[in-house]
Amino acid sequence: MAGYLGNKFDMIVHHLAVMKPKCKIYDIKKQDSVYFVPDILDQARKEGFVPCKYCVKNEVSITPRDLAEAADVTEVTIRNRYKGLKLSQQMNHTIL
Ligand SMILES: [Zn+2]
């Protein structure tokens, strides 16, 4: 069964489809378990759960800052570059 499993004990939510041994999902007590089925991680977040760093990592939405850190440039550079790309796309449409 896919979906997310929240642990009310440590307030961490795991993705069951990609869970890792480090998640220790089998240590989560029944009374601490909250299921979010199917893919409603947002609901878990609203209820105060933190995505697990082992299994939900890849699904956390990427912010311009994350991109900037990865690419070793500033957030502003990315924003400007993005604006530039959008502009050039609009220009292409106008030409075509
Ligand atoms: Zn996990």
Residue 24 in any domain: the answer is yes
Task: Indicate whether 58 belongs to any domain.
Answer: no
Say yes or no: 43 and 73 in one domain. no
- Say if 77 falls within a structural domain: yes
* Distance from Cα 66 to the centre of ligand 1, integer Å: 21
> How far away, in angstroms, is 56 Cα from ligand 1 center?
6
Q: How many domains does the chain have?
A: 2
* Average pLDDT, integer, range 62-85: 73
Could you say which DSSP state residue 38 is in? S
> Considering the entire predicted model, what is its pTM?
0.57
Enclosing domain of residue 91: 64-95
pLDDT at 17 over 80: yes
Question: Same structural domain for residues 45 and 74?
Answer: no
Tens of pLDDT, residue by residue over 28-45, are 999 999 998 766 788 899
- The answer to whether residue 23 sits within a structural domain is yes
Burial label for 6, CB within 10 Å (0-12, 13-18, 19+), is buried
